[in-house]
Structure 1
Amino acid sequence: MDLIEELSWRGLIQDMTPGMAELLHQQTVKGYIGFDPTADSLHIGSLLPLILLVHLQRSGHHPIAVVGGGTGRIGDPSGKSVERTLLDEQTLQYNLSRIEQQIKHILQKAGKPYTIVNNDEWFKEMKFIDFARDIGKHITVNYMMAKESVKKRLESGLSFTEFTYQLMQAYDFYYLFTHYDCQLQMGGADQWGNITTGIELIRKLTGKEAYAFTCPLLTRTDGSKFGKSESGENIWLDPQKTSPYQFYQFWINLTDADAEKMIKIFTFLNQEEIDLLIDSHRQQPDKRILQKKLAEEVTRFVHGDEGLQQAIETTSKLFGKTTDVLPDESELKTMEGVERMVLPYADHHVELLTLLTEKTKIFPSRGEARRMIQNGGLYLNKQKVMDTSKNIHHEDLLYGKYLLIQKGKKHYYLIEFT
């Protein structure tokens, strides 16, 4: 299937300008996506536009990633309810260098041409009066006010600084069109207004047509925003901010419905492979075939074989059946899919049933906790507990202060005594 058909099947097309599909059929196209340096790492939300660039690259076209050394000084109001905090120059430059490294790491994997460019290249020498006269003259305020990203902010307030962002992004597209022969801009659905302003500017200044498509904003099947851990933290691409293990566990812990949706979006497996995986998973959902394959593919894509192996080894230590290999203390501190509790140190010397009920509420009653132990469904530090009268002692604690409790097959608790 061609690029547009494949992206449509994967659920990656929301809006598209007329003639887009024909253009991609007829010639090699240069297409771009912008990345502003709002943090020192990209996150899962930024991974999706990177994947769009890779799809473009794998289809024989030329991807361009624009890092926003210029626009990053302003901040895009799209999708935001309040004004962004402006970055100081040192932070801006550091963030730029970090995300540029991450983009390069992804785009060089295919071994095909790509371009990374900083839009400070054309903004740093531009004078405000020249921008207002030569560019602002061609786009009316009425046109800019009609954009959804602007209308949504009018009630809460939109500064002139952020209002100009739309025109700056439009100029990005115009500059790339005239200097890099870039005919296509891609982005998330919230970028449609900014992108079409760029198309309008190109039309007015050159009399030529430019093209665009957007992908839907990432949401879970229940409609909630996708890309954060259970604790509400961003899932970063930087392994120092989100370890390969945490990254891997994020995908492992997706629901079946989310895994079916995300394996199409975040992997390059073909339709036949994905259909087979979905069928196998539906026949044996308890084996979590989809989640494991999704976690494997995306972790390898972002962190390489070494990062994937590290994530699998840590996962095995925590959740595998082997009882003689336990996680080290740093791994315990980064576990996901585990409910954490903190208790006074004195509480570690207590009857197990009391700990499981009165102290932690892991079980609603002593009777239920007792039945779970008698049925072989309770593990303490990966060791099956069979004695309902067991007492907890200091020697039961990992590293002198932790208890890792498993209740049944899926419920894990980490108690830290402080």
Structure 2
Amino acid sequence: MTDHVIDDLQARGLIAHSTDLDALRAEIDEGPITYYVGFDPTAPSLHVGNLLQLLTARRLQLAGHRPLILVGGSTGLIGDPKEAGERVMNSKETVAEWVERIRAQVSRFVDFGGDDGATVVNNLDWTQPMSVVDFLRDIGKHFPVNRMLARDVVASRLEAGISYAEFSYVLLQSMDYLELFRRHGAVLQTGGSDQWGNLTGGVELIRRAEGAKVHALATPLITKADGTKFGKTESGTIWLDPELMSPYAFYQSWIQAEDSKVGEYLKQFTFLPVEEVDALMAEHDERPGARGAQRRLAAELTTLVHGEAETKAAELASGALFGRGELDDLPESTLAAALREAGAVEVPRGTTLVDALISSGLAESKSAARRAIGDGGAYVNNQRADDPDLELGDEHVLHGSWVVLRRGKRSVSGVQVV
């Protein structure tokens, strides 16, 4: 059992880098601290990588510490340098709209009441009134150019070129830490390991400008078993906004977690005690085919992000599509999202089953489709179909237009009849 929040973070594998973990532990032991984590509005929604930061902030708050959640109204106008190349700058109006959307998203993951109640801040409040001369005199003078050039992301961009705007991003984020130290007494900044240069830039700025010692803590990059970045699916990023990614698709992204990584994700993304995760993984190792760990992970995260009702709908859909529940019980929105996630396409009313199997990707040719039907491996709305010339009509559609197709036990898709 881990009682200290630092011990808990370590047990969950959530500390990749820290400036001085012993000093941070000592400061925490002296009493509640104020800390912050920031999010730039470079998209209309946060994604799964941001979720890890929000949950880390929540863990610290549950331990009695006070979070500041920064939404980067100014840093979002510039964008943190990427190794791939220069960012496309969004308009001020777009960024302002995204600030409000993200402000609403982050507000669901922390509490705002009590002595450790969270505060959402916007760095546009202190950057917008500042003149260029003041910025250079008060902030720029503390940053040696040779150290800025040595940052990995900058060094990788020098040959292809990097704008002064992106080159200077570290100054803006470091100034955020300085301002929050002065205004709110923030002594810890958390973020992803890819932000380590920016995090330590803020620590160094406060040391130079105020003569004070503060802390930075970075979580690891969340990866798949092959080392690639976790959070991307075939259809794109795992977004938190249900308008960009349906709750069903979100649920499925966790159901598909690899066996070798699911225990890690359970510790890092859920609030289940570490001991409970270890017990769950012991059961999973005995019966990996049951995917009990993945189902628990998907349920915990979908409930956290989208609520219990959406989780139950996603679980119901997962079972019903594979013949373990009633398709008629699914709301149209859930069924539509599930079939779109499975690759459903539009077909004309009266399309034959053979053509529907081909259109949906469940068969590569007419002969393969006929063979599947003849072998008893083709299903329409979970009912075995034995007529290759069957035409999809009114008696087959669910909610007026959807037909669930399945080949064998595991291959599911569907069509929308128009």
TM-score by length of 2: 0.89
Tell me: CA distance 1:416–1:9, structure 2 relative to 1, closer, same or farther (3 Å). Answer: same
Q: Quick one: structure 1 residues 372 and 256, their matched pair in 2 at CA, closer, same or farther if it must change by over 3 Å?
A: farther
Q: Which residue of 2 aligns with 1:130?
A: 134
Cα distance, 1:338–1:364 mapped onto 2, change above 3 Å: farther
* Whole-angstrom CA distance in 1 between matches of 2:49 and 2:360: 40
Post-superposition offset of 1:278: 0.8
User: How far has the Cα of 1:283 moved from its partner?
Assistant: 1.8
- Residue of structure 2 aligned with 1:270, choices 268, 273, 293: 273
Matched residue of 2:100: which SS?
Answer: helix
Pairwise CA distance, 1:117:
0.8
Name the counterpart of 1:158. 162
Determine the structure 1 residue equivalent to 2:240: 237
SS in 2 for 1:404: strand
Tell me if the contact between 2:280 and 2:293 (Cα under 8 Å) persists in the aligned partners: yes
- 1:365/1:357 CA distance change after superposition, 3 Å: farther
Aligned equivalent of 2:33, options 16, 29, 33: 29
Distance 1:20 1:336 in 2: 49
Note the alpha carbon deviations across 1:299-318, whole angstroms, 9 max, x for none.
11112223323333433443
Q: Shift of the alpha carbon at 1:149?
A: 2.3
Residue 394 (structure 1) aligns with? 392
The answer to whether the aligner puts 1:408 opposite 2:408 as a matched pair is yes
| Bigger mean CA offset, 168-177 vs 145-154 | 145-154
Partner residue in 2 for 1:223: 227
Shift of 1:332: 4.3
CA contact (8 A) 1:353 1:370 kept: no
Deviations 1:82-102 (A, max 9, x none): 212222222111111111111
Provide, for residues 323-373 of structure 1, a one-character-per-residue CA deviation record: whole Å limited to 9, x for no partner.
462656544442269653658649933658996999932898579636751
Correspondence for 2:304: 301
Residue from 311, 316, 323 that aligns with 2:314: 311
Residues 1:336 and 1:53: Cα distance change in structure 2 (over 3 Å) = farther
Matched, 1:206 2:210: yes
The 1:125–1:351 alpha-carbon spacing in structure 2 relative to 1, beyond 3 Å, is closer
Q: What's the CA shift for 1:253?
A: 2.1
Among residues 133, 141, 145, which one is paired with 2:145 in the alignment?
A: 141
User: Greater CA deviation, 120-129 or 328-337?
Assistant: 328-337
Q: In structure 2, what is the Cα distance between the partners aligned to 1:70 and 1:356?
A: 47
Q: 1:59 aligns with which of 53, 56, 63?
A: 63
Residue of structure 1 equivalent to 2:100:
97
Q: Aligned residue for 1:9?
A: 11
Alignment of 1:255 with 2:253, yes or no, is no
Deviation at 1:270, TM superposition (A): 0.5
Q: 1:333 to 1:309 in 2, by over 3 A?
A: closer
Distance 1:278 1:378 in 2: 35
Instruction: Assess, with a 3 A threshold, how the Cα gap between structure 1 residues 269 and 364 changes in structure 2: closer, same or farther.
Output: farther
Q: Aligned residues, how many?
A: 411
SS in 1 for 2:338: coil
Aligned to 1:279: 282
Is this contact kept in 2: 1:35–1:67, CA < 8 A? yes
| Structure 1 residue 108 corresponds to structure 2 residue 106 | no
Distance 1:361 1:280, change over 3 A: same
**SS of 2:237's equivalent?**
coil
Cα distance, 1:191 vs structure 2: 0.8
- Counterpart of 1:172 (choices 171, 176, 183) is 176
Instruction: Give the superposition deviation at 1:202.
Output: 0.9
Deviation of residue 281 (structure 1)?
1.5
Q: 1:278 to 1:136 in 2, by over 3 A?
A: same
Counterpart in 1 of 2:380? 380
Cα deviation for residue 179 of structure 1 reads 1.8
2:211 and 2:293 mapped to 1: Cα distance?
A: 49
CA distance, structure 1, for counterparts of residue 357 and residue 313 of structure 2? 37
1:288 aligns with 2:287: no
Taking every aligned residue pair, what percent have the same amino acid on both sides? 37
| Mapping for residues 324-343 of structure 1, pairs under 5 Å | 325=328, 327=330, 330-335=333-338, 339-340=342-343, 342=345
CA distances 1:5-43 after superposition (whole Å, capped 9, x unpaired): 211221211111122233223331111111111122111
For 1:196 and 1:225, the matched residues in 2 are separated by 23
Take 1:101 and 1:176, find their aligned partners in 2: how far apart are those partners? Answer: 21
Counterparts of 1:45 and 1:256, CA distance in 2: 20
TM-score, length basis structure 1: 0.89
* Residue type at the aligned position of 2:49: G
Quote the Cα distance in structure 1 between the aligned partners of 2:365 and 2:24. Answer: 56
| Segment drifting more, 326-335 vs 139-148 | 326-335
Query: Residue 272 and residue 81 in structure 1: after superposition, are their counterparts in 2 closer, same or farther (change >3 A)?
Result: same
| Residues 234, 354 of structure 1: alpha-carbon distance in 2 compared, 3 angstrom cutoff | closer
48, 68, 71: which one aligns with 2:72? 68
Specify the SS of the correspondent of 1:32: strand
Q: Which consecutive unaligned segments of at least 5 residues does structure 2 have?
A: none
CA distance in 2, matches of 1:89, 1:157: 24
Give 1:123 deviation, angstroms: 0.8
Matched, 1:246 2:244: no
C-alpha deviation, 1:410, in angstroms: 2.1
Change (3 A) 1:221 1:160: same
Residues 118/346 of structure 1: CA separation in 2 closer, same or farther (3 Å cut): closer
**For 1:164 and 1:117, how far apart are their aligned partners in 2?**
21
TM-fit CA distance, 1:159: 0.3
